[in-house]
Structure 1
Amino acid sequence: MNKLAEIKLSPDGGFKGFGPLGLEGGQDGVSVFVNFLSSAIGLITIIAIIWFIFIFLIGAVGIISSGGDKNSLESAKKKISSGVIGIAVTILAIFIIKLIGVLLGITDILDFTTMFNSLLIN
């Protein structure tokens, strides 16, 4: 049985710093932020797709189980419509961001590594 003092609290090799004052081999702050931002956008997109599938299936089950009831059928159709609108907005947002980038002259606006490295003052 391990005693409290024997429990390992740090990863093998220790923690790694970032920036010019960080430990040797550490990541810089920009790459840490870029990784976080890319992961967050990817996670939000995946959640939106899963939510769309969930809402679509609930709407489909609602249509099947409506049994001719107009109120239930209308409610199920609204759920499917809101799911389709939600996924369309999610996909459209990516294209709008790319369009804004092209209009502003930032061709790789979704390439966060290039964008943030160009903003750094050296």
Structure 2
Amino acid sequence: MNKLADINLAPEGGFKGFGALGLEEGQSAPAVFTKFISSVIGLMTIIAIIWFVLLMIMGAIGIISSGGDKAALESAKKRITTGILGFVVVIAAIFIVQLIGKLIGIPNILDLPVLLEGIQQ
């Protein structure tokens, strides 16, 4: 008589993760880490750009709809200034990290696969 615990429920190839981090190709841990970090940085950059565009649109609508109200006009101008400043900070961060990498002797600090390969050696 078969008991429920005797039934093998595992798939033929075993259990694997889903998506890019599932290691279907047998990737090494540094390769998975590189993909993960690149994806996170890309996602954060896209979110920053979308936030910048939204602040610009909300600021423009605020200026148009202020109707002579000095406080509303000033609030809309601050929103636009905040958006521009945030965008400049995001873009400047890339150059600052590259500069710091050159100053401390790591020229490939933004090229994560090359950086990890150098660390492993």
User: Shorter-chain TM-score: what band?
Assistant: 0.7 to 0.9
SS at match of 1:74: helix
- Name the TM-score, length of structure 1 as normaliser: 0.79
Relative to the length of structure 2, the TM-score reads: 0.80
Larger Rg: 2
Percent identity for Structure 1 against Structure 2: 53
CA offsets, 1:55-101, max 9 Å, x none? 11000000000011100000000000000010010000000000001
Q: Which runs of 5+ in 2 are unaligned?
A: 1-9, 18-22
Cα distance in 1 for partners of 2:14, 2:90 equals: 41
Which consecutive unaligned segments of at least 5 residues does structure 1 have? Answer: 1-8, 17-22
Distance in 1 (alpha carbons) for counterparts of 2:24 and 2:92: 42
Matching residue of 1:20: none
Map Cα deviations across residues 17-62 of structure 1 (whole Å, 9 max, x no partner).
xxxxxx8940000000000001101110110000000011000000
The answer to which structure has the higher helix fraction is 2
Q: Which residue of 2 aligns with 1:15?
A: 16
Question: Could you list the runs of 4 or more consecutive aligned residues of structure 1 that deviate by over 3 angstroms after TM superposition?
Answer: none
For 1:84, the equivalent position in structure 2 comes to 84
Equivalent pairs, count: 106
